[in-house]
Amino acid sequence: MNRAEHWESVYATKPDAELSWYQQQPEVSLRLIRELASNPHGVVDIGGGQSALAPALVDLGIPRVVVLDVSPSAIRRGRERAGASADRIEWIAGDVLRRREYGDVDCWHDRAVFHFLTDAEERASYVDAAARAIPTGGHAVIGAFAMSGPERCSGLEVRRYDAGLLASEFAGAFVLHRSFTETHMTPWGKGQDFIYTVLERR
Ligand SMILES: C[S@@+](CC[C@H](N)C(=O)[O-])C[C@H]1O[C@@H](n2cnc3c(N)ncnc32)[C@H](O)[C@@H]1O
């Protein structure tokens, strides 16, 4: 099964209550984007198809909000979740490793996508995509499983990070601005440790 097929099957078979990453409100992401990435004018949320982040960013008044997800079903669920805000969001079905064009965005957000990239070439391709999308002075907010976090998610192996290791992956184009740790509670009450970095485009 390839990546798109894997995620399609997840969203086709699991309700929100069975998605370990599900959040009612993405509070940490919102806070980091608002406070540390200095109120961006355009945000792209990588792998945010089903997330509540995009409509929350619209509510914050961010003029341009783009969502990319490899799963069309995730996007369909996200559109429904976004309600009246859905038409103010640009939804793109695609793989972050293949896409290089996002229009005018100055903040790149990713919670729990980069950590699936266990292949170094794929990680380099991902960083190249972020570097091309974000202009100098813009930001990338990357949330990944911490070293004390789970070793797998959704049946897939993940790579775990601390702030230094995560920043080193992006060091060719971004510098570490801040980092933040969070224990996310799954819908069934299990804690998962995350590390977030706010990186500034050089
Ligand atoms: C673990 S979920 C996290 C969802 C969301 N970011 C959140 O925090 O609620 C990973 C998401 O990334 C999407 N995804 C996985 N690999 C991707 C890729 N290479 N390009 C774009 N989206 C991807 C999946 O379809 C899924 O929606």
| 113-155: pLDDT as tens digits | 999 999 999 999 999 999 999 999 999 999 999 999 999 999 9
Q: What are the beta bridge partners of residue 92?
A: 68
Q: How far is CA 96 from CA 88, 105, 122, in A?
A: 21, 15, 10
Q: Is the pLDDT of residue 1 over 90?
A: no
**Which atom of ligand 1 is found nearest the CA of 110?**
6
User: Mean pLDDT over all residues of the chain?
Assistant: 96
Nearest by Cα to 108 from 173, 45, 30, 48: 45
What is the percentage of the chain residues whose pLDDT exceeds 70?
Answer: 99
Testing ligand 1's pocket by substitution, the residue of 3, 6, 7, 20 carrying the most ligand atoms inside 8 A of its CB is 7
The encoded tokens of residue 182 equal 């969070």
Domains defined for the chain, CATH in brackets: 3-201 (3.40.50.150)
CA-CA distance, 62 to 28, in Å (whole number)? 17
Give the pLDDT confidence of 25-74 residue by residue, as tens digits: 999 999 999 887 667 999 999 999 999 999 999 999 999 999 999 999 99
Write down the pLDDT at residue 37.
61
**Which atom of ligand 1 is found nearest the CA of 8?**
25
pTM equals: 0.98
Nearest by Cα to 105 from 81, 85, 126, 129: 129
Burial class (CB in 10 A: 0-12, 13-18, 19+), 106: buried
CA-CA distance, 199 to 176, in Å (whole number)? 5
3 lines ligand 1 (CB under 6 A): yes
Q: How far is CA 187 from CA 26, 44, 133, in A?
A: 14, 25, 33
Mean pLDDT of 83-105: 97
DSSP 3-state assignment of 129?
helix
Write down the pLDDT at residue 39.
75
